[in-house]
Amino acid sequence: METLQGILERIVYENPDTGYTVGRLSARDHAELITVVGNLASVNPGESLLLQGEWVDNAKYGRQFQIDKYETILPANVVGLRKYLGSGLIKGIGPKMATRIVQKFGMDTMDIIEHNPEKLARIPGIGQHRVKIIKEAWEAQREIKNVMLFLQSHDVSTTHAAKIYKTYENDAIAVVTENPYRLADDIYGIGFVTADTIAQKLGIDKDAPHRVQAGIKYVLSQKADEGHVFQHRGELIEACQTMLEQEPQAIEKGIHVLIEKEEIMVPDFADPLHTDAESVVGETQDRYETSGQPSVVNRQQETLVTGTEHVDDTSSAES
């Protein structure tokens, strides 16, 4: 993986939903601007960036730097500082006001904004109301960067980090730290495997209840993707044991908790000849067609039916 450092001169394209960005970077030891592509959530022109990634040759657009990770660096000179502040990064500071602020405080500007923003009122055109706006905007930007830095420090990709911040905003660190398996439920494109990887990076115990419960739902959803409409309880426990490396008792407890939380259910659609039959169905699969059979629409978003072996006597029922 290669490293590239420079100033983001402009943004050519940005997808606000994913954070995917095409930008032009003025980099050290490069005479011409470099096209950089990847997820640069909440980054603005004028910011100094330290990028990690690799060079790729695009058939249509030529040589580009594909970003894997990035971090922002405060500008190293007054020219960069002026451009950084005037980029629209901080509400209340435009290009002209940025020039005035940097002329007044020089390289102490960022320290003033961070720790003593009331001193900005010494500059003509900045009253207490604008000071308040600038302070709040700066704090918001700082929070975004803190979240992104935290996630990337735990090897969360910039793509996933952008989605996580967009979903939880300032609560992102708290949510991910407390229960990273929520990501699999809340964010499209992040499944159990990714959430589990993040959890392990955060030091979450492998026998944590959240992990067991998320694993159960994942196994059921995998079976749904394969076209099954239910799974035997014993088979479910065995599959979860193998994947999660947990004892059967832990899986049973997880199933019980999920039933209590109504994330999986126990409907009664067994063969009436087998009155002791039991089955469990995920909350999103509690839909039936007029025939009385489980619905098979939107299969990818359904959590599967589980039950005892008695339920699988479909051949005799059809004959």
Enumerate domains of the chain plus CATH numbers. Answer: 2-73 (2.40.50.140), 78-148 (1.10.150), 154-201 (no CATH), 209-318 (no CATH)
On the question of pLDDT at 192 being above 80, the answer is: yes
Tell me the β-bridge partners of 24: 10, 35
**pLDDT (mean) for 181-194:** 93
Q: Which of 20-24, 172-176, 279-283, 297-301 has the lowest mean pLDDT?
A: 297-301
Mean pLDDT of the chain: 81
- Residue 293 tokens read as 């059979």
**pLDDT over 70, % of the chain:** 83
Under a CB-based contact definition with an 8 Å cutoff, are residues 225 and 304 in contact?
no
DSSP 75: -
Convert the pLDDT of each residue in 51-110 to its tens digit.
999 999 999 989 999 998 888 887 778 888 888 888 777 888 999 999 999 999 999 999
DSSP 89: I
Tell me the β-bridge partners of 38: 21
Q: At 49, give phi and psi (nearest 5°).
A: -125, 145
Q: b/e per residue, 136-171, with b = 16+ CB within 10 A?
A: ebbeebebbbebbebbbebebbbbbbbbbbebbeee
Compute and round to an integer the Cα radius of gyration of the chain. Answer: 27
Which string of DSSP letters, residue by residue, matches 255-311?
A: HHHHHHTTSEE----S-TT-TT--EEEEGGG--B-TTSSBP-TTGGGPPPEEE-GGG
Most confidently predicted of 137-141, 241-245, 264-268: 241-245
Nearest to 218 by CA among 186, 249, 243: 243
Distance (Å, whole) CA 42 – CA 20: 10
CB atoms under 10 Å from CB of 80, counted, come to: 18
Greater model confidence, 155 or 32: 32
Distance (Å, whole) CA 103 – CA 107: 9
For the CA atoms of 217, 264, 294, 309, what is the dihedral angle to 10 degrees? 80
